[in-house]
Amino acid sequence: MQSYTNHMMNGGKIMDSSILSKAYQKPSTNILADVCAMAAKMDNVIDLSVGDPNFTTPQPIIEAAFEKTKAGMTHYTAAEGLSELRQAICDFYQDKYQLKFNLNQVLVTVGAEHALFIALEALLDPGDEVIIPQPSFSPYIDQVKLANGTPVTVDGKAAVGYKIEAAEIAKKITPKTKAIIINTPNNPTGNVMTAAEEQALADLAIKNDLLIFSDEIYSDYVMPGKTFTPLAKFAPDNTVTISGMSKSFAMTGWRIGYLIGPNWLVTTANDVNDAVTFTTPTMSQEGALYGLQHHDELVAPIVEAFQKRLTYLQTELPKIDWLDVSPVEGSIYVFADIRATGLNSVDFADQLLKKAGILVVPGLAFGKSGEGFVRIAATQPLTVLKEAVAKMQKLTW
């Protein structure tokens, strides 16, 4: 009490949030973060909001990581990651996609979001512009701003399945543009870029000396008849690949990702990371190493389960007279059209929770072009998804 009295007598005031960065004193609404926080607190709700596969990490990955840990692998690795893991990443891309990368092009990170942020921080000066086609994962915009850049959005069109179109991106290029962020297979729309679309985007980047940050975290999740091709196939010198183990191996809690790109960018991103995390957790790297070395056998059952779930949802949801779905080509989500209800996406999600106990993410969370839609994550067992659909079928608006 005495210290408080002395503080006030000396002209001080009680410390409060006014000392914070102005950017965070009145932060803009983060719908996706709010939904995730809500999901963590709620019981007896069918949670179709968070992109966290319901599968436990495959047991062989857990056992391999813990065996290494018990044997003494509890220290720092090299800042850029275990050389064995980086080599396994190179081998994976060579074997699966016939893409050749060198070790000095690979940096292991604490998840894919971390990979994107340190790469942006390495690249951007204040005022540099980054083009982001929407609907998109909302942290892209936040990360560009955190790296002192200016996000420039391109509104996608529901009528064409939210395809990422090079011609529309070209309209947004200015002398200040340094990069483009894309995501294929796409969260939230489920769109997968074709080879022709990727080639057009690659040509645009090469012509304008731009980098493409290609978030490929859902690369294993493509529907039958669709094909995923890494963007680096078309613009190897202009592409920074962002990916990780979270989705394919159900390793979300391990926080393990990577970036692949030109050596000059990767080296600088590693310098940035020295002041952020320095290294990625050793146990997570060991788990990732085992996972990549046994990729096909471990990933196939998870991918097959999601294909069945997505097939079910895109077949059954359009039978509800107030629902339709954007074509599902990949990822682990359905982007459902709720415009027939007459509600905006935020109000619809709120009413769906209150009326049916189902939690989804409003399309507005992914940009204004996502309005009129909601994202439904197929991250629950098929039996739960059937229960959710049955509840939706009983609703009227």
* CATH number for the domain that contains residue 28: 3.90.1150.10
**364 belongs to a structural domain:** yes
The average confidence (pLDDT) of the chain is 94
Contact 158, 135 (CB under 8 A): no
Domain residues for 335?
A: 17-57+297-393
**6 belongs to a structural domain:** no
Are 222 and 112 in a shared domain? yes
Are 231 and 147 in a shared domain? yes
Nearest CA to 187 out of 171, 212, 154, 164 is that of 164
Are 94 and 25 in a shared domain? no
- At 21 the pLDDT is 85
Are 370 and 262 in a shared domain? no
Cβ burial, residue 29 (10 Å; 0-12/13-18/19+): exposed
Buried b (16+ CB within 10 A) or exposed e, 351-373: ebbeebebbbbbbbbbbebbbbb
**63 belongs to a structural domain:** no
Boundary-marking domain end, from 294, 324, 343: 294
Are 245 and 303 in a shared domain? no
**200 belongs to a structural domain:** yes
Are 262 and 341 in a shared domain? no
Q: What is this structure's pTM?
A: 0.92
Are 142 and 266 in a shared domain? yes
Query: How much is the average pLDDT of 140-157?
Result: 97
Query: Could you give phi then psi for residue 311, rounded to 5 degrees?
Result: -60, -45
Are 225 and 329 in a shared domain? no
- At 15 the pLDDT is 84
- At 265 the pLDDT is 98
Cβ burial, residue 12 (10 Å; 0-12/13-18/19+): exposed
User: CA-to-CA distance for 49 and 347, rounded, in angstroms?
Assistant: 15
Length of the chain in terms of residues written: 397
**64 belongs to a structural domain:** no
Contact 259, 119 (CB under 8 A): yes
Give the number of other CB atoms < 10 A from CB of residue 156: 25
Please write the tens of the pLDDT for every residue from 165-175.
999 999 999 99
Q: Dig out the tokens for 269 from the structure.
A: 């991103």
**209 belongs to a structural domain:** yes
Query: Could you give phi then psi for residue 127, rounded to 5 degrees?
Result: 95, -15
Q: For position 167, which CATH number holds? A: 3.40.640.10
- At 38 the pLDDT is 65
**276 belongs to a structural domain:** yes
**45 belongs to a structural domain:** yes
Are 222 and 313 in a shared domain? no
Boundary-marking domain end, from 277, 294, 311: 294
Are 48 and 107 in a shared domain? no
Query: How much is the average pLDDT of 212-227?
Result: 98
Boundary-marking domain end, from 294, 318, 349: 294
Please write the tens of the pLDDT for every residue from 95-126.
999 999 999 999 999 999 999 999 999 999 99
User: Which of the four pLDDT bands, split at 50, 70 and 90, describes residue 44?
Assistant: confident
Give the number of other CB atoms < 10 A from CB of residue 340: 13
**How many domains would you assign to the chain?**
2
Query: Could you give phi then psi for residue 5, rounded to 5 degrees?
Result: -65, -45
User: Which of the four pLDDT bands, split at 50, 70 and 90, describes residue 25?
Assistant: confident
